[in-house]
Amino acid sequence: MAERATVLFTGFPGFIGVRLLPRLLELQPQASYRCLVQEKFLGPARDGIAAIEAAHPHTRGRIGIVTGDITTPGLGIDEADARALKKDVTAAWHLAAVYDLAVSREVGQRVNVEGTRNVLGFVAACQRFEQLHYVSTAYVSGRAGPLFRETDLDIGQSFKNHYEETKFLAEVEVVYSGLPATTYRPAIVVGDSRTGETGKFDGPYFILNAMERLPSPGVFMRIGSGRQPANLVPVDFVVEALAQLGSSAASRGRTYHLTDPQPLSVLEVGRLLAEALGKSFVFAPVPGFVARGLFAPKPVQRYFGVPVEVLDYFEHDCRYDTTEATRDLGALGVTCPRLPDYVSRLVAFYRAHRGDVRRTAMI
């Protein structure tokens, strides 16, 4: 019988985490997972585990909770739990982070950078540790362009916001740690391509907010040419890619762009969203600096439901190389769904749940 593995997992009960865990446990029958959970999220975490075990019988008894906090040295784990984990843990998945374009530098630094540093320090002390799986973001690219490779990281780029910068600094920490690691860089994650379900209305959902506020037929602003790529990926693709790659020995030491290899343009995405909403707009060109000026006042941002930080991504002229991901995911039978095939489901879920899905980061 193969030796059982104990895996430390951060980022539970987040939207991706609750979907990823059962799939990992299905692909890794000898593994059990210990989820590091802040005390304030213990209730939702226990509910999440109960729901997973009810829906996926193979997970029963294989998911545990350890109370802690990535922002605390030693992860805030009590001494007895820490000793046991350092003896048993063979791998770790680090998903916990602040996913918020408007995050302050102080919060981003504390959670994304110092939190990652604390995770690295803890797992480095684990006697049997073999591999870290780190979930980063494609937007460590910052303002780099026109192509950002999976092998790129620090190429002297600047950043559009503190979220990008602190996720970049966190990934640098992973590299400098020298630990055996696989890094995953998703693009903008949207709802499930099959059901439309999402855990947070951000990214393109901000555009749906604005479109709903405007009369139709009407005018919607197009920042710049509208030809820049808008890289959106559904959560089911991201989860399957993480699970399959994370269960493959061939992924060790690699960095994967979990991005759409053939992204639509910003204008094409805008037209798809409008059509799915049943709206008709003329997309009128507006310079980026004018758009940011118009949306700078907080009351304007609240009215349209669009943070001003989002506008920078209308002019994000960068494509993401997917050489490693396309090759390894292709061998595993995993491909990224095309947005036109599922956009109607995203919008239908948005319309049905706009009042009961959060719009802010889970911190």
pLDDT digits (tens, 9 = 90+) for 28-45: 999 999 999 999 999 999
CATH code of the region 191-230+263-317+338-353: 3.90.25
List, for residues 140-149, the tens digit of each pLDDT value: 999 998 999 9
Residue 358 confidence (pLDDT) above 60: no
List, for residues 291-346, the tens digit of each pLDDT value: 999 999 999 999 999 999 999 999 999 999 999 999 999 999 999 999 999 999 99
Above pLDDT 70, what percent of the chain?
Answer: 97
Enumerate the domain spans of the chain.
Answer: 5-189+232-258, 191-230+263-317+338-353
pLDDT of residue 3: 65
Above pLDDT 90, what percent of the chain?
Answer: 96
Query: Rounded to whole angstroms, how far apart are CA atoms 169 and 185?
Result: 14
pLDDT of residue 356: 81
List, for residues 63-103, the tens digit of each pLDDT value: 999 999 999 999 999 999 999 999 999 999 999 999 999 99
- Taking the model in full, what pTM does it have? 0.96
| Superfamily of chain region 5-189+232-258 | NAD(P)-binding Rossmann-like Domain (3.40.50.720)
List, for residues 153-196, the tens digit of each pLDDT value: 999 999 999 999 999 999 999 999 999 999 999 999 999 999 99
pLDDT of residue 4: 80
Mean pLDDT, all residues of the chain: 96
pLDDT of residue 355: 81
pLDDT of residue 1: 32
